[in-house]
Structure 1
Amino acid sequence: MPTPQSLLRRFVRLAPLVVLATAACSKPAAEEAAPEPPVQVAADQVAMVDSLEVESGPALSGTLTAERTAQVRSQMSGTVLALYVKEGQAVSAGQAIALIDTTVAAEQARSARSALRSAQVQAQLATRNAERAATLLKAGAIADRDEEGARAQAQSAAAAVADATSRLASAEKLLRDGTVRAPFAGVISELPVSTGDVVQGGAGGATLLATVVDPTELTLEASVPAEHLGAIKRGAQVEFTLNGMSTKVVTGTVARINPTVDATTRQVRIYIVVPNRNQALASGLFAEGRVTVEATRALAVPISALDPRATTPSVKRLKGGKVELVPVTVGLRDALRERVVVTGVARGDTVLLGGAIGTPTGSSVRITRADG
């Protein structure tokens, strides 16, 4: 049977082991008590609730075209002697674009002038003869038929003068047409000929020399679903974005509405005038947008603040640096600007966006800026 002295010695030997075991057991507990580090959220994954313009209406898509476009064709046949412009160059109304060889036209003009002078001389002689015949007829010196013949010759000579005058005018116009000019102020968008090319004139198969467009006013030819036709009026505002310029919202005005519906697509064509005085837009760009039929100013958040997987609308709000789930009521949705009206939050609240809305409720969050 152990004596009290032996028990005491055994306790003294075991005491350090008990202390070590106790320390080992308490160490994980201390570590578990350490706070979790905050979740890092990029600045572009948060937004502030604010009062914003929110608009809605039927979607549309189409292509921008120049309101005024002219295909400048040769009015005479000949060789291109000179080109005074290049593609992309701005031109003023009446500015020379090209020069066609006018050698033949110049010869025709000289011949026409000569023919006119001859016709004028013949007309003067015929007029004097007719006047003399009229005097002789009154004196009874000639018969009626002689006077009538002289008068007919004078009339024929006058007609010949008119014909020669017309021929000269045509020849001189053809001569002027040798210098091809811009019909209005704009930009050369196409120049398919080169110096030395032989071009054909006339109304039938005249050669295209240049295409001039006026870029200061564009037209968006777009289609909208027929069921929205009643909500679209002339003068309605249209907002859209363009391929390659997705961040820029462009505005225009409905100018014309096609009165017929496409039987296959059930779409209606509308024509939107788009001012382009600074020429920042280009013809041919594809556009997507909407006709504004409803607009309001209200508290709104980016659409990406709403969790598409949630059964009821809600946002993740930061309050005191922690995430909380806030139910909201959704109102008007602006698909073009990607914002939506909500109630249930206050102006100035910070909400999480996109992938950040997966941050668990109650988590601490630290917003990181691009500059660190």
Structure 2
Amino acid sequence: MKEAKSKFSYSYLLAFGFCVAPLLVGLTGCSGMPKAEAEAQNRRPGAERGPTSTPVDVAIARPGVLQEAPIYVGTTRPAVEVSLRSQAEGRLLNLNVNVGDRVGRGQQLGQLDNTLLFTLVTQAEAELATRDSEVARAKTQVSNAKARAEQARVTLKQAQTTAARREFLQKQGAISLQDAELARTEARTNEQAVLAAEEQIRTEQQAVAAARGRVAAQRAVIAELKERLSYAKLKSPIDGVVMERVSEPGNLVQPGGEVLKLGDFSQVKVVVPLSELELPNVRVGQLVQVKLDAFPNQTFSGRVARISPAADPTARQIPVEILIPNQNGQIGSGLLARVQFTQETAPKLLIPQTALQVNRGRGRGAGVQGSRGAEGQRGRGAEVQGSRGDANTQSPVPSPQSPVPSTESPNQGTIFVVMGEGREGKVAARPVVLGDRANSRVEIVSGLEAGERYVVRSGRPLKDGDAVRFSILSEGVGNPSSAAENRPNNARQRNQQ
């Protein structure tokens, strides 16, 4: 009995194994099916049972700059640089300042040996005293000459009176003719004496003028020597900062020898070379933004102060000088500066080209409406559109890869504007007029207003009136500070996955 029972159990297990084995093989074959084939089956019309709304990346239309202004590199320098040089010869006795010290206009910074100059000034002053005594003597001679002239005039007057009286007496016959003539002769002699005395006065006055001239010349010599003596005191010609000590105490300094380098840092300047093609976009007084690597968290504002009239003949670049206020003195010399000229054009309404549908039959490139770009239209998007066949009664928006007849001009396109509030809504196809393009963005001249929401990318081709739901990359959804059109790298990674 036990033997028959064991045979029955063995037959039962054998039959169960034959039944289960094909089932396990079938399951194993199903699990080994390629992923692409499984996805293709999921995309079949019969298997497609997804939601009716299409996932889209949405952005808000805002004005912006189509092309950022180029950045030019330069080096900071003080607005005014002065070399303090000696105007006299002498040994440098001391320097009162060091590199980095602030100095004021007229402040004494150093001293030269002035012993020789001081001796020369003393000798010149002694010579001046001699010249002054000469002037005094000449003035005395003038006074004496005037006294003699006055005495000669009195004598002349008396002789003229005597000559007149004797002439009268001679006519009356009281005296002889000879006595009258003698009186007249004496009068003429006194007249000549007066003339000689007056001439002596003029001569003595000329001597006084000559003596005074020698005094004035000597005073000029003394003034020059004192001026040279003042050169021994090295004084700052500007308000600024000591940049370099060229000479040190103990050195013999020649006239014109450099002792210190000073800089005025109330403003700093940056000189950048511009191409002759960029020069029409720059003018004197134009605002400039400057960033310094030494202060990465600050942006400094400056102005174009000077445009050089001469260009470098080899590089054909024109130096442009920019002045930056530096009231607190934090900007030093030799710092790397990155200069960006402020654009004076008004911001334009811009959208990424991926949001644009343009007729490619006329040879104009376009952005791609879909999550995979142009390659996605050839791949998954195209398969979805083709697999639906006639089951779709409303044809979707044509793929940019498939030119279709259109009446749009090359500067026209179509975008999808999102209608509704919240995380879901409907899209409306809207024609827009296009402007300039750059950096994967295009200017919208008309057809879209700032603040409107539009579709940047969609999970599948859209048509007018389609219901959509916003993805996490949409602006204002998930991370409020992130805009969909500013995440091309994320979309590219998503497409590659």
Q: Same fold (TM over 0.5)?
A: yes
User: Which one of 277, 280, 302 corresponds to residue 252 of structure 1?
Assistant: 302
Identify which of 254, 267, 270 aligns with 2:320: 270
C-alpha spacing 1:76/1:131, structure 2 compared with 1 (3 Å): same
- Alpha-carbon displacement from aligned partner over 1:325-361 (angstroms, at most 9, x marks no partner): xx99997979xxxx98988564633557697665224
1:39-62 CA distance string (max 9 Å, x none)? xxxxxxxxx999787585465444
Alpha-carbon separation, structure 1, partners of 2:265 and 2:130 = 51
Mapping of residues 162-173 of structure 1, within 5 Å: 162-173=216-227
Matched, 1:102 2:114: yes
Write the deviation string for residues 7-37 of structure 1: whole angstroms up to 9, x where unpaired: 7632335648949x959968x96xx99xxxx
Answer with 127-136 or 238-247: which moved more: 238-247
Distance 1:161 1:359, change over 3 A: same
Instruction: Trace 1:352-363 onto structure 2 (pairs within 5 A).
Output: 358-361=492-495
Which residue does 1:43 correspond to in 2?
Answer: none
**More contact order relative to length (CA 8 Å, sep ≥ 6):** 1
**1:227-253 deviations in whole A, cap 9, x for unaligned?**
333332221112234465566543211
Which one has a bigger Cα radius of gyration?
A: 2
Question: Alpha carbons of 1:129 and 1:274: their partners in 2 closer, same or farther (altered >3 Å)?
Answer: same
Residues 58 and 224, structure 1, Cα contact 8 Å, conserved in 2: no
What CA distance in whole angstroms lies between the structure 1 residues aligned with 2:337 and 2:437? 23
**Residue equivalent to 1:183:** 237
Partner of 2:355: none
Change (3 A) 1:139 1:341: farther
Q: Map of 1:1-372 to 2, 5 A cutoff?
A: 9-12=10-13, 15=16, 18=20, 22=24, 54=65, 56-57=68-69, 60-140=72-152, 142-201=196-255, 206-242=256-292, 248-296=298-346, 346=475, 348=480, 349-350=482-483, 358-361=492-495
Gaps in structure 1 of 5+ consecutive residues: 34-47, 302-310, 318-326, 364-372
Q: Does the residue aligned with 2:247 lie in a helix, a strand or coil? A: coil
Q: Post-superposition shift, 1:86?
A: 0.8
Q: Distance in 1 between matches of 2:91 and 2:437?
A: 64
Tell me, in whole angstroms, the C-alpha distance in 1 between the residues paired with 2:370 and 2:150. 116
Deviation readout 1:133-160 (Å, 9 max, x if unpaired)? 2343344365455333312221111011
Check whether the contact 2:76–2:269 (CA below 8 A) recurs between aligned residues: yes
The answer (yes or no) to whether the contact 2:146–2:197 under 8 Å persists in 1 is no
Contact map agreement 1:298 1:341 (CA 8 A) in 2: no
CA contact (8 A) 1:90 1:187 kept: yes
* Distance 1:333-1:100 versus aligned 2 partners, 3 A rule: farther
Separation in 1, partners of 2:11, 2:289? 90
**Where does structure 2 lack aligned partners over 5 or more consecutive residues?**
36-58, 153-192, 352-364, 372-414, 417-433, 445-453, 457-474
Cα deviation code 1:267-323 (max 9, x no counterpart) = 33322221111223223345443322335557899xxxxxxxxx9668999xxxxxx
2:78–2:268 CA contact under 8 A, matched in 1: yes
The one-letter amino acid of 1:11's match is Y
Q: Distance in 1 between matches of 2:278 and 2:312?
A: 14
- Tell me the TM-score normalised to structure 2 length: 0.53
How many residue pairs get aligned? The number is 320
Task: Quote the offset at 1:122 in angstroms.
Answer: 1.9
Distance 1:290 1:135 in 2: 88
> Is residue 232–residue 293 contact of structure 1 (8 Å, CA) maintained in 2?
no
Q: Aligned partners of 1:316, 1:296: CA distance in 2, in Å?
A: 31
Aligned 8 A contact 1:58 1:225 in 2: no
Tell me the secondary structure at the aligned position of residue 129 of structure 2. Answer: helix
Cα pair 1:49 1:300 within 8 Å, conserved: no
Q: Which amino acid aligns with 2:128?
A: L
- 1:103 deviates by 0.8
Distance in 2 (alpha carbons) for counterparts of 1:159 and 1:132: 22
CA contact (8 A) 2:74 2:339 kept: no
Identity over the aligned pairs, expressed in percent?
20
Paired residues of 1:56 and 1:294 also in contact (CA < 8 A) = no
Are the equivalent residues in 2 in contact too, given 1:57–1:294 (CA < 8 A)?
A: no
TM-score, normalised to structure 1, is: 0.68
Cα deviations across residues 86-129 of structure 1 (Å, max 9, x unaligned)? 11211122222111111111111211222222222221222232
Q: In the aligned structure 1, how far is the partner of 2:145 from the partner of 2:85?
A: 53
Residues in 2 aligned to 1:130 and 1:315: alpha-carbon distance in whole angstroms: 115
Q: Any idea what SS the aligned residue of 1:227 has?
A: coil
When residues 5 and 247 of structure 1 are mapped into structure 2, their CA distance, relative to the original with a 3 A threshold, is same
